[in-house]
Homo-oligomer: A and B are copies of this chain.
């Protein structure tokens, strides 16, 4: 089903209009103003509440709204399904859409359970053979500074990478009076900081280094055990924070720390990559900057340089503003949609794939298992099985 853009514009439908729906809609509304992409139309925004979704559709630039995603998937004028619904709905929608021949972009996490993620990945593999594309939304791969980091590493500028230090720190749960919500229950959210934000860190580690996690040691903690619910205190059943040490292929190690109670840290995905010939550091709160140390220059003048990743020479930047006119967080979604549309046009596999999403989930599952067992756990990439060393 390679799309022929001359024929007619791609019809796009998005499912979900909350935080992620707003961010994705923004990307669809703006991508063609900055990038050369195949023609498309923002056709339908789908949501459960007819009135609210109609309002959101008008506000976010969609021609129509709808409440039944199944009907939308069946429409002939819809070619792309962008899934921004909660994680527990991903599998059902994505599989149905792929089977209906629609290209699918799905927000991370791929699914709330490994089993669902595996079904989705199988459906994606099958659809791919028919020219139907799929992609998971690890949008931070499209932060220009991280895309530049990827380039520098691929060019060998860091030499042999020894270890990565990754943390994703937030503080919106630091106050014990912050009320109970679906995000704090295992049955609805799957996990806490682990799946929500550590997932980004794990994806970046593998994306940037090109290496795969082989073994993990993990610890989870819930600092605030109860939170106020409508009918009194309720038990929090997911983690507030997580720590993991990863062993990767290529003789590489990594540490991951994620917390939603790190007071004062607002949205700080911190990455530090140490190699034999150089190092890189990054913080999402200053996402236009990449710190790079080139250890091949004379020691006398070595130092981490703050590269303001805002030059036409940098990934995605030629489309935006002159140098030093910084971009924001939501631009990463615009880049994501740009790359997705180009892949659909070219009939090529967009990256990251559902396989990449499944792989991250296997790592997260192993972290959980390691925390339960208090022992290191091997991640068996090919099969999705994880296995305790202690056993």
Interface, chain A (partner B; CB < 8 A)? 19, 23, 25-26, 29-30, 32-33, 59-61, 148, 152, 158, 162-163, 165, 167, 170-172, 174-176, 217, 219, 221, 223, 240-241, 243, 245, 247, 251, 253, 255, 257, 259, 261-268, 272, 274-279, 284-288, 291-295, 298-308, 310-311, 313-314, 321-331, 374-376, 389-390
Contacts and interface: CB of A to CB of B under 8 A. Distances in A.
Contact of A29 (B33, B148, B294, B330): B33
10 contacts: A23-B321, A32-B59, A162-B241, A259-B274, A284-B324, A302-B305, A304-B306, A321-B330, A327-B329, A375-B390
A363 to B, nearest CB: 16
B59 A308 contact: no
Nearest to A323: B266
Contacts of A162: 174, 223, 240-241, 259, 261
A30 B26 contact: yes
Contacts of A302: 264, 305, 307
A19 B265 CA distance: 35
A287 B326 contact: yes
Copy tally for this chain in the complex stands at 4
A299 B287 contact: no
A243 B245 contact: yes
Contacts of A330: 321, 325, 327
B286 A264 contact: no
Given A30-B26, A219-B253, A274 B261 contact: yes
A274 B267 contact: no
Given A301-B307, A321-B329, A255 B274 contact: no
Nearest to A261: B162
A301 B276 CA distance: 18
A171 to B, nearest CB: 8
Contacts of A59: 32-33
Contacts of A292: 301, 303
Contacts of A32: 59
B255 A257 contact: yes
B165 A167 contact: yes
A148 to B, nearest CB: 7
Nearest to A240: B162
Contacts of A310: 266
A368 to B, nearest CB: 14
Given A219-B253, A243-B245, 18 more contacts: A30-B30, A163-B261, A165-B257, A171-B274, A219-B245, A245-B245, A255-B257, A263-B293, A265-B274, A266-B310, A268-B324, A285-B326, A299-B311, A299-B313, A300-B311, A302-B307, A304-B306, A374-B375
Given A307-B303, A375-B390, A251 B267 contact: no
Contacts of A262: 163, 272, 274, 279
Given A221-B163, A267-B324, A276 B175 contact: yes
Given A29-B33, A299-B313, A311-B300, A285 B324 contact: yes
A33 B61 contact: yes
Closest 5 interchain pairs by CB?
A267-B324, A266-B324, A328-B328, A303-B305, A264-B293
